[in-house]
């Protein structure tokens, strides 16, 4: 997501909007007479819930929302220890 810029006066008048944008992953550069003086950036952390991380990826255009419900697939078939690895090595020609 590209960093957007705004002047101090506008930032003060629209701080709530800027903070909502920052919560969505947007960065804001605050300028005074055209000179950068501050940057509003989201606090990063692994504590964000999965839904919030996915929403941020969608907002940034890095992933698209699902177009339909996910199919419920049956669980994978159990394989004897190491069998899947052996098949993978054979397939790769190792």
Give the tens place of pLDDT for each residue, 3-19.
Answer: 899 999 999 999 999 99
Q: What is the dotted CATH code of the domain comprising 1-64?
A: 3.40.1620.10
pLDDT at 94 over 80: no
pLDDT for the residue numbered 45: 64
The closest alpha carbon to 1, from 56, 63, 55, belongs to 56
CB contact set of 37 (below 8 Å; sequence gap of 6+): 8, 30, 31
Q: What is the pLDDT of residues 24-80, one digit of tens each?
A: 889 999 999 999 999 999 877 667 788 888 888 888 888 988 888 878 888 887 777
Question: pTM (2 decimals)?
Answer: 0.49
């Amino acid at each position: 997501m590209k960093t957007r810029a705004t002047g101090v006066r506008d930032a003060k008048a629209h701080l709530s909007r800027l903070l909502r944008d920052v919560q969505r992953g947007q960065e804001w550069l605050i300028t005074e007479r055209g000179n950068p003086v501050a940057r509003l950036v989201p606090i990063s952390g692994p504590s964000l819930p999965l839904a919030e991380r996915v929403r941020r990826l969608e907002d940034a255009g890095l992933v698209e929302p699902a177009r339909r419900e996910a199919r419920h697939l049956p669980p994978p078939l159990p394989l004897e220890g190491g069998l899947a690895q052996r098949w993978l090595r054979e397939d790769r020609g190792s």
